[in-house]
Amino acid sequence: MIKIGIIGVGTVGEAVVKNLKKNKEIIKARAGKEIKVVKGVVRDLNKKRDINIPLTTDYKEVTQDPEIDIVVELMGGVESAYKVVKDALIHKKAVVTANKALLAYHRFELQKLASTPFGYEASVAGGIPIIKALRDGLSANDIIEIKGIINGTCNYILSEMKKGRDYQEVLKEAQKLGYAEANPTFDVGGYDAAHKLLILASIAYNIDAKPEDILIEGIENINLMDIEFAKEFGYEIKLLGIAKKIDNKIELRVHPTLIKKEEMIAKVDGVMNAVSVIGDTVGETMYYGPGAGGDATASAVISDIIEIARGIKAPMLGFKLPLNKNYKLKEIDEIESKYYLRIATKDKVGVLNKITNVLAKHNISIETFLQKPKDNFAKLLFSTHKCKEKEIKKAIKEIEAFDFVLKPINYIRIEE
């Protein structure tokens, strides 16, 4: 029998307990052993819960219990979870976690510390087995690109906004459904997707970047006008995590993105996630499934528990030896993209000319243009050809300085 302690019995923790019970016989057959949850750790012992396991508020009763084989960390947070997971590893427990924020900051330290198995399938894309796909199934490949919808909350919000629904109302709904992080700014601000992208990039390139090192933008400024523009020009707006290898440089970025509506990833709506991985040997592969929610995440957590019970131990981040390549993170300013700009201006003679002159000065060529009369302001919607991030930023700053322009100018990158 394998004995488990779960630290954090909330949305995901409860779903793990319930699904271990529901599929007890199947899981026992697959793992080769019975799996039993013997203790849970919570903050509030008086909270009403749907499960019936012994509970405590002291995590050491789990991490230091000689009877427990696997510690499952589902409490969230970064430094508090790091302390707990470190204690479990020091006490030679196998660890399973769904905590991408913890891994975004501490994955390399944890890898060094872990002499026992360490599972984190649930940390990226909820129920999609993307960690095992990338680390094991695609291990023969030099990874050229990873592109994914890896935040269920944002995808749910953007999908519902297409129906004309209000951003705040849909966010509240996503929280109720158990999709959002304890602090939903992590979701809508793009940070949660960035945490996940960094985990995938470590498996693909063994690169130890932190969230502060990469380009992260959220969906807070997307409005119905952007969605209308997207519709008019044949795009969908998705929050994407993108990792690209160009020579020895790795480009990592998370931002709302306009993608052609015919692309497979553009058709992924609601809480569903999708990740496309391009390997040099296999070509493009694509993974699709529910990206958030208790049961979807529990499916991934339990798969790690079964793998550990079976006695399989892959290197945590996929590399047994140091990678003999010196990958460097690409500077944010050097990233190249096409852009969509939404500029609100006073409706005066010569305005358009002044704006296009600034764009031309920075060598930014316009691909499409649309003017929408709205309220007291004209809304100018441009899309550009490819240019460098530093040039568009300079141009935006200069255009924002015109007294006829309403700040801030909104922009969305276009990925084609």
Question: Which residues make up the interface to ligand HSE (CB under 6 A)?
Answer: 126, 151-153, 179-181, 187, 192, 291-292
Please count the CA atoms within 13 angstroms of the CA of 352 that sit on its side-chain side.
12
For the CB of residue 238, give the shortest distance to ligand HSE in the complex, in Å.
Answer: 13
| 204 to 243: interface string for ligand NAP, x by CB under 6 A | ----------------------------------------
Q: Which helix (H) or strand (E) holds 218?
A: none
Q: Which of residues 27 and 101 has its CB atom nearest to ligand HSE in the complex?
A: 101
Q: Is 41 in the site for ligand NAP (CB under 6 A)?
A: yes
First to last CA, the chain: 51
When binding is defined by CB under 6 A, the residue of 2, 4, 5, 12 that contacts ligand NAP is 12
Instruction: Say which amino acid occupies 186.
Output: F
Q: Rounded to whole angstroms, how far apart are CA atoms 126 and 179?
A: 10
Whichever of 75 and 201 has its CB closer to ligand NAP, that residue is: 75
CA distances from 401 to 83, 256, 354, 365 (A): 48, 25, 11, 20
Q: How far is the CB of 19 from ligand NAP (least distance, A)?
A: 13
Among 5, 8, 117, 279, binds ligand NAP (CB under 6 A): 8
If we measure between CA atoms, which residue out of 90, 46, 64 comes closest to residue 7? Answer: 64
Is 393 exposed, middle or buried (CB count within 10 Å of its CB: 0-12, 13-18, 19+)?
Answer: middle
Pick from ligand HSE, ligand NAP, none: which does 389 bind, CB < 5 to 8 A by kind? none
Residue 187, contacted partner among ligand HSE, ligand NAP, none, CB below 5-8 A by kind = ligand HSE
Q: Taking contact as CB under 6 A, which single stretch among the options 4-12, 164-172, 226-234, 327-335 is the one that binds ligand NAP? A: 4-12
- Catalytic residue selected from 93, 147, 196, 330: 196
Segment near ligand NAP (CB under 6 A); pick from 107-115, 210-218, 262-270, 290-298: 290-298
Confirm if 278 and 264 have CB atoms less than 8 A apart.
no
The entry of ligand HSE, ligand NAP, none near residue 382 (CB within 5 to 8 angstroms by kind) is none
The answer to the question of residue 43 lying near ligand NAP (CB under 6 A) is yes
For this structure, is 196 an active site residue?
yes
Distance CA 195, CA 152 (A): 14
> Shortest CA distance to 70 belongs to which of 51, 46, 89, 44?
89
Cis peptide before 408 (omega within 30 of 0): yes
Smallest gap from residue 207 Cβ to ligand NAP (A):
22
Q: How far apart are CA 138 and CA 307, in angstroms?
A: 18
Q: Which does 153 bind (CB under 5 to 8 A by kind): ligand NAP, ligand HSE, none?
A: ligand HSE
Residue with tokens 């660890």: 95
CB 334 within 8 A of CB 388: yes
Does 292 bind ligand NAP (CB under 6 A)? Our answer is yes
List CB contacts of 152: < 8 A, sequence separation 6 or more. Answer: 126, 174, 179, 271, 272, 273, 290, 291, 292, 293
Compare residues 72 and 341 and give the one whose CB is closer to ligand HSE: 72
CB 382 within 8 A of CB 408: no
Q: Name which of residues 163 to 182 contact ligand NAP (CB under 6 A).
A: 178-179, 181-182
As separate numbers, helices (DSSP H) first and strands (DSSP E) second, the chain gives 14, 18
Closer to ligand NAP by Cβ: residue 10 or 137: 10
Q: Between 178 and 256, name the residue whose CB sits nearer to ligand NAP.
A: 178
Which residue is at the shortest CB distance from ligand NAP? Answer: 10
Q: How far is the CB of 180 from ligand HSE (least distance, A)?
A: 5
Site for ligand NAP in 61-100 (CB under 6 A): 74-76, 80, 98-99
Q: Which one of 157-165, 204-212, 292-300, 332-340 is the stretch in contact with ligand NAP (CB under 6 A)?
A: 292-300
- Rounded to whole angstroms, what are the CA distances from 312 to 29, 94, 186, 303, 393? 16, 12, 33, 12, 48
Bridge partners, residue 235, by sequence:
260
Residues of the shown chain interacting with ligand NAP in the complex, contacts defined by CB under 6 A: 8-13, 41-44, 47, 74-76, 80, 98-99, 122, 126, 178-179, 181-182, 292-293, 297
Q: Which residues are designated catalytic?
A: 196
